[in-house]
Amino acid sequence: MAEAVVEERQLLKTLRWYDGFVICLANPGFLLGSLGFSVLDLGGWGAAMIWGITAAIVFPVTVIYSELAAMFPNKSGGVSVYANEAWRKYTTLIGPVATFGYWIGWSVVLSYLGLFVGYISQAAWFPHEKYGTYAFGGSKIDNGYFTIGSVHIGLQHLIAIGLILCVWVFNVFGTRIAVSFNYIAGVLLMIPLFCFTLLPFLNGDFHSSNLTYKLNDGHLAWGGLQLALVWIWIMIWSTAPEAAATFAPEYKDTVRDTRKALLSSAAFILLINTLVPVALTGGVGSKTVVAYDYVGALNHLVGKGATNFFVVVICMSFILSMNTATADGSRALYGISRDGLTIKQLGRLNRFNVPGYAMTLDMGINILFVLFVGNLFGILVASNIGYVLANMFAIGAFILLRKDRPNWPRPIRLPDIWVPIAAVLFAAFALFSVVGIGWFQIAGGGAVYGGTKNKIIGFSVLAVSLLLFLFRRIVQDKEKPHWREETPAMPDEAPAPEAPAVPAI
């Protein structure tokens, strides 16, 4: 009797390491999105120091991820998948928490930077249209076109929604379209990066008198250490290039391409995060940087004859970041669904071999953020709770996998000295989380990052991840939830098989 065979769709191997590097060009956009308030709190010298220290801390973390990515070359999802692989021997609850924590950290980029682009575009080209609620702090600019709850919807909100839909289209029709867009936007990004890193020194605009150092102010708790640790915790989100590892199954040479993409991205981010705060603040002054007036900064450094072009390149740099966020976050949900830790629907690929269901979830949630949340900075920092924890669990995964799976093939095997290095980094990330979660409300002058409400939102996302995990196990897989799993010692052993494949639709 003939049997019908349904061929399961797979992620396509179409990328090279330089594609991964271009994907991580999103990070300079994240830097620009948080730079102003870091300069407000820390001063130009202080911001440069803390941004540089954060990038230096993240660099060895990236090296660790290169070994983990090579161990699981066919698993999509990046750091959250590595965390699940190592911790499920001890508890199956870490996997869903790490995944949703990692995903929400990337997901809110869409609404956050979408509103940033909307505000910049409106101020430059449509200044007389309705603004509504100012998303960066939640204050009311005017009544907007209409009101939803406490949020007044203006043109900036409508532009943000349009951009969220656009990056969904870029990604849902295949990886190559999304990466091609990143190449175009990446070329344009080089213009403001050149202006913000080298031009102030070349044209004589740089003045060290524009730079201050505020961490030694006498009123700061713990002699300034508390504020420094809070900002390191916030900056980790903007600095880590781990997105390159999320695409490991899609590189043509998984081991070499993943390693090169991770390390080249980490080196580039270390350079940019150290130079931009010094060069830009020294070139245009802290007032311009704190106001996030990047178009004004370009006009100051280059001249006012190309203002519209500068608006375009700044907006494109942020759209590039939104594009990467959609691609990376959706693959995290896809990977963990395939491992049976969240609902089956998120483990499906569409006919273009990308996780379209997860991307659509991203799109819908961020449109709701734009419409219903007044202060996007507060939501952004709330999402960082899960994001930093996800990275902490992934660093711990390196240590646990070395102990529990010593014979597992490691195409990239770091020297044994990296085990105690990972232990120090794990402890550091735990410290950053305790201080960051406890006191993030003091950042941004104490006025924009929220407080208890935002902490509740951040932990609620993690709680939802556990409910969806239980729904998957009890309702969809019709099994009793088990809190620990036996793990294979080698890839060809399978005491805890992957969740059943979901037929492609």
Q: Per residue in 201-220, pLDDT tens?
A: 999 999 999 999 999 988 89
| 12 touches 250 (CB < 8 A) | yes
Give the pLDDT score at 218: 84
Give the pLDDT confidence of 330-355 residue by residue, as tens digits. Answer: 887 888 788 888 889 888 888 888 88
Average model confidence (pLDDT) across the chain: 86
Tell me the per-residue pLDDT of 43-100, one tens digit each, with 9 for 90 and over: 999 999 999 999 999 999 999 998 998 888 877 777 888 899 999 999 989 989 998 8
Say if residue 469 is exposed, middle or buried (CB neighbours under 10 Å; 0-12, 13-18, 19+).
buried
**Structure confidence at residue 493 as a pLDDT band (50, 70, 90):** low
Model pTM greater than 0.75? yes
Alpha helices in 88-132 (DSSP H): 94-107, 109-125
Pure H helices in 108-224: 109-125, 155-172, 175-197, 199-202
Higher pLDDT, 304 or 349: 349
Q: Per-residue pLDDT for 471 more than 50?
A: yes
123-176 residue pLDDT tens: 889 989 999 998 777 788 899 999 998 899 999 999 999 999 998 988 888 766
Arithmetic mean of pLDDT, 179-193: 80
Which residues are bridge partners to 151 per DSSP?
A: 148
pLDDT digits (tens, 9 = 90+) for 306-334: 888 888 888 888 888 888 888 877 887 88
Position 57 scores a pLDDT of 95
Q: How far is CA 270 from the centre of its chain?
A: 16
For the stretch 459-465, contacts whose Cβ atoms lie closer than 8 Å and that sit 24 or more positions apart, written own/partner, are: 459/385, 461/100, 461/101, 461/104, 461/383, 461/386, 462/97, 462/100, 462/101, 462/385, 462/386, 462/389, 464/100, 465/96, 465/97, 465/99, 465/100, 465/101, 465/342
Q: Is 275 helix (H, G, I), strand (E, B) or coil?
A: helix
* Count of C-beta atoms within a 10 Å radius of residue 222: 11
d(CA 365, CA 329): 12
Over residues 180-201, the mean pLDDT reads 85
